[in-house]
Chain A
Amino acid sequence: MSIALENEQKLSAATPSEGHTAAHAAASPVVQTRDLRLYYGQSEALKGVTMDFHSNQVTALIGPSGCGKSTLLRCLNRMNDLIDEVLVTGSILLDGEEVNDKTLDVIELRRRVGMVFQRAVPFPKSIYENVAYGLRIAGVRDRKVVDEAVEQSLRRSALWDEVKDRLHESALGLSGGQHQRLCIARAIAVDPEIVLMDEPCSALDPRSTTRIEDLIGELRRQYTIIIVTHNMQQAARVSDYTAFLYEGELIEVGATKQVFTKPERKETEDYITGRFG
């Protein structure tokens, strides 16, 4: 109990200062992690992460490779269940509901918390079927509904113009950047509340990166977005909040502007300015 309280205090110290923009003021936490620890077998990959993610905001997770960004992200929709010998302790609250609860309907959770992976792998189906997949398995049979959702998702992921004439061709014939946007379309087609993006712009050219960044800005109005990125400029450009992780520990979290201009911790500053080991 006392630990939880302590965390609470630390967290409130880390949340953005009051004088921020109106949008930030309206933000409320949809996801809260409390002393989240994750073990891969013997090794501890997350060492007690306590932070909030706010609704309709973009939160960027930054940190050196192997610090646990993907692991944290995957905790939020329980993707780590798929890996053997993983132990998770602590709590994750989604709208006040415990995510780590074994009785929770994982299917429902994943429908609410969509994910775009570090490496975009479309299904070996047509472009249309890729986007419609989530709806189909959710049991949506109405053709008109599916058609509409597919078009809307593709438009929002800025892919529609490129693929509208070849919707029924194999998705495997698209380029890497198009794959990435297709996977985003696939994720938002089921209308999740939260979208997790794990380095959506890795292996993309600047133009595609720009498009995806624009897209994130667009999606932000409707969804809560958590994005992992190695690109500091990108984090600064697209996110409202930034969290810096180092070796499984949350070092600092705060409004992006603040973290980038006057970080509270020296490690953060070193990392952002590139002076890091």
Chain B
Amino acid sequence: MWATAAALTAMLSLVVVLLYVVLVNGLHVFWPAYVAEVTRVDGEALLGEITRRATNPDTDEVSFQLKTGNRELDPQRQDFRWVKEKDIRSISYPTGIYVLERVENGNYYGRLERVEGPHVPAAGDRSGDEALSSGVTAVQQKAAEYLGPIARNLAALSHQLQETREAIATLQYRKTRLPGDQHQRLDEQLAEAESRATQLKKQSDYWVALQQKRLAEFRTDVAVFKDASGKSTPIEMLDIVRIYQPNDMGLLAKLGHYVKKIGELLWDNPRESNTEGGLFPAIFGTVMLIFLMAITCFPLGVLAGIYLGEYAKDRHLVRLVRIAVNNLAGIPSIVYGIFGLGFFVYGIGGLIDQWIFPERVAVGSPTFGTGGILWASLTLGLLTVPVVIVSTEEALRAIPRGIREGSLALGATKYQTLLHVLVPMASPGMMTGFILAMARAAGEVAPLMITGVVKLAPQLPLDGDFPYFHLDRKFMHLGFHIYDVGFQSPNVEASKPMVYVTTLLLLLIVLLMTSTAIWLRNRMRKRCQLRTL
């Protein structure tokens, strides 16, 4: 008895510890931490957030880890520094310290000196703070005004260029397939397409040059900051994502900051090789992947389960299939991934490409013959379908015989009985299988890694461009994001908060989806519950 209780306790406490670690580390990431000014005994001053405190077990020496940011100024390009307690003369939390979140190079910690540049409005009698914030707003607005149309032009041009290049590739491919006497017309078309391509290239070069020129202008709009050592650094205003002064913020301001950061997390694109910014593409990819998986695996699993439970005659065969299905769950998921790569990507995808886009294959840019969200979701579906099959079959088997006989005795066919009575009654059980399948699918990363997940996808698999669903596209995924940011990123310390946040988010999404499904199931169950006499 006590052994079982102890085992349960051990299990539960492990889960609780895991959740605790994720929650504690994940939740405080966006809370603006105080910035400390640490003066060392040798006179060197450091500015940064104290992120950790560690004791050397041999010497009992205490050290602090400081997030000092200002990466580009550090010779080793480090964001973090360790300082021994005995080397510290004083620690203070002065007001007026700025934290800048930047597009590149991480955070900057320092004090404001002045703002300057051609697009910065005249300071007048405004204080430094106001000049900074109004300056940044003004510069970024103007930049959007000047650079936005250029960027849109360039995007359109590059799209056209891409299409022209594909057309050229198609023509070249056709040339290899057609007899020599038809080459002349193709050659004419080719020449035309090539001249169009050079035309487009020229145009786009012009716009790129203009963009560079404009950007160079905007790069002279800077805010000059002074770091802890007193060294002045000009920081381009275009580079600034967010400015805040944690030591001067009240609770309300901090709360506002927190909420805004979460908004950024949910709706923005990632920056700085995924260690900063938002997770929107990864959230989108994860949810869409699971939905695609669900709409393929659920009907398939339910139908297969119904066949096994209701129609299959051969008892031994059914038993064999059931064992096989149960054991499918034990195959390592990477094996499914490899199967998905071989069967879906190279097999089916390759065939589709050969039928529909042979010229793209010829130039080595396959459409469906490479990893994509469709293949990844099908692979996941394959992985989770046994769960749905087994639970469907079990739900059907759990229905009392009297119900079945009652329906048949009233002159219902087997199909009618199934449709009107059995399936509705088994639906809560099917939902249970579906929930398990979804939870499992949401946590799988390994099979995705070889069937289409990427660390940074330029486009979402669903957008406003015809045909809206781009199931051949590669996608981002929260689980892979955790792996990528946590273990593939060059800057391990800086990426740690993101790992926790991503984990937390993934857990929340899974929780949200499964609890929706559970809520649905409970509603179904209430309708179908058999009151025992």
Contact = CB atoms under 8 A, between A and B. Distances in A.
Contacts of B420: 133, 136-137
Nearest to B415: A137
A37 interface: no
B527 A114 contact: no
Interface in B395-432: 400, 402-413, 416, 420-421, 424-425
A121 B409 contact: no
A176 B530 contact: no
A123 B530 CA distance: 9
B127 interface: no
Interface string B510-533: 000000000000000001111101
A138 to B, nearest CB: 6
B407 A123 contact: yes
A82 B407 CA distance: 12
A134 B409 CA distance: 9
A134 B417 CA distance: 11
A187 B408 CA distance: 11
A110 interface: yes
Contacts of B413: 107, 137
A138 B411 contact: yes
A49 interface: no
A77 to B, nearest CB: 6
Nearest to B419: A137
Interface in A79-126: 79, 82, 84, 107-108, 110-111, 114-115, 117, 119-124
Contacts of A183: 406
B408 A124 contact: no
A137 B412 CA distance: 6
B313 to A, nearest CB: 9
A203 interface: yes
Given A124-B529, A124-B530, A117 B411 contact: no
A170 B527 contact: yes
Contacts of A121: 400, 402-403, 406, 530
A124 B405 contact: no
Contacts of B409: 77, 79, 110, 114-115, 117, 187
B400 A186 contact: no
Contacts of A120: 402
Interface residues of A, number: 32
Nearest to B313: A84
B505 to A, nearest CB: 39
Contact of B410 (A110, A119, A176): A110
B418 to A, nearest CB: 12
A66 interface: no
B412 A124 contact: no
B412 to A, nearest CB: 5
A119 B532 CA distance: 12
B424 A179 contact: no
Interface in B447-499: none
Contacts of B406: 117, 121-123, 183, 186
Interface in A151-197: 170, 172-173, 176, 179, 183, 186-187, 190
Given A124-B425, A124-B529, A179-B533, A133 B407 contact: yes
Contacts of A172: 529-531
A137 B416 contact: yes
A222 B409 CA distance: 19
B319 to A, nearest CB: 14
Contacts of A111: 410-411
A108 B409 CA distance: 10
A124 to B, nearest CB: 4
A176 B315 CA distance: 36
A100 B421 CA distance: 27
B529 A107 contact: no
A142 B328 CA distance: 49
Nearest to B421: A123
Nearest to A130: B406
Interface string B100-140: 00000000000000000000000000000000000000000
A173 B407 CA distance: 19
B421 A110 contact: no
Contacts of A114: 409-410
Contacts of B425: 124
B403 A123 contact: yes
Contacts of B411: 107-108, 110-111, 134, 137-138, 190
A231 B462 CA distance: 70
Contacts of B402: 117, 119-121
Contacts of A187: 409-410
Given A79-B409, A107-B413, A121-B406, 16 more contacts: A79-B405, A79-B408, A111-B410, A114-B410, A117-B406, A119-B402, A121-B402, A121-B403, A123-B406, A124-B527, A124-B530, A134-B410, A137-B407, A170-B527, A186-B406, A187-B410
Nearest 8 pairs between A and B by C-beta? A121-B402, A111-B411, A134-B410, A115-B409, A124-B528, A110-B411, A172-B531, A137-B412
19 contacts: A77-B409, A82-B408, A108-B411, A110-B411, A117-B405, A117-B406, A121-B406, A123-B406, A133-B412, A133-B420, A134-B410, A137-B407, A137-B420, A170-B527, A176-B533, A183-B406, A187-B410, A190-B410, A203-B533
Interface of B: 315, 400, 402-413, 416, 420-421, 424-425, 527-531, 533
Interface of A: 77, 79, 82, 84, 107-108, 110-111, 114-115, 117, 119-124, 133-134, 136-138, 170, 172-173, 176, 179, 183, 186-187, 190, 203
